[in-house]
Structure 1
């Protein structure tokens, strides 16, 4: 597996990953009815941000986007989001994407990375981020409507560089 910059022809494999994740309504706060065009505009980061794919040969296994968390006085903090194909979860793709995003953010000179809305019940993501040095700095109770668990919390997670 290698991680490389997203190119236009990757969209045909990236969109099904995004579509599956948002339609499940278990881990992302995106509108489950989001169209491919709207998703492209949301997921593909313009410079100085970055969008990448994790690939095995020509197959896209997962994707990440990263950039500045907030403009102006908050521009020294980065953020990132990750989605992994359902068939390849548990094989280290998410870890590799997270490490790539952290490395990128450090190279860009950010002071840290913040995740704004990590679904509390998404244990695999929370554990991954903790292993990679993030901590939960706050939780908004009941801020996420999970399809089977009801309202669960959204964590804000942070790692200072």
Structure 2
């Protein structure tokens, strides 16, 4: 697996699984009816932030991550990131590789910590992955997310030092 900078040419490969994940409404706070142009504008970040794709040896996009400062000004030393793995390629370590890549990027870019603002508590796979990489839950906003089948569930704020 290779992780490389994403370009606008990657968007047609990202959009189908991005749309599937967002439309399911289970893990992201994006509107479920988000269109491809607005999704692209929200996901493909301009420098100094970064968006990457994980690709296999054939060049197939397996997943993607966006990495950015979590705040501006005096809070700009805290990084954040978001990840999407094509469900057709789940269970192959793509999410772990993208998360580790983002941690390495943040450290090299001079960030001091990484914070995830809205990890849906029912997204057990992501919570388990982030914990295994050293993140801890700082707090949970009760009923911060309206899950389509579970109802109102908490949103974790997760953090780790770099």
Aligned to 2:59: 58
Aligned to 1:90: 91
Q: Deviations over 1:58-111 (max 9, x none)?
A: 210000000100001110000000000011111100000000000000000100
- The structure 1 segments of at least 4 consecutive aligned residues displaced by more than 2 Å after TM superposition are none
The CA distance in 2 between the partners of 1:149 and 1:138, in whole Å, is 20
User: Is it true that 1:76 corresponds to 2:77 in the alignment?
Assistant: yes
TM-score by length of 1: 0.98
The alignment of Structure 1 onto Structure 2 pairs a total of residues equal to 161
Aligned to 2:141: 140
Q: Deviations over 1:12-44 (max 9, x none)?
A: 111112101100000000001111000011001
Aligned-residue RMSD, C-alpha? 0.6
Structure 1: stretches of 5+ with no match in the other structure: none
- For residues 22-33 of structure 1, the aligned pairs below 5 Å read 22-33=22-33
The CA distance in 2 between the partners of 1:123 and 1:154, in whole Å, is 12
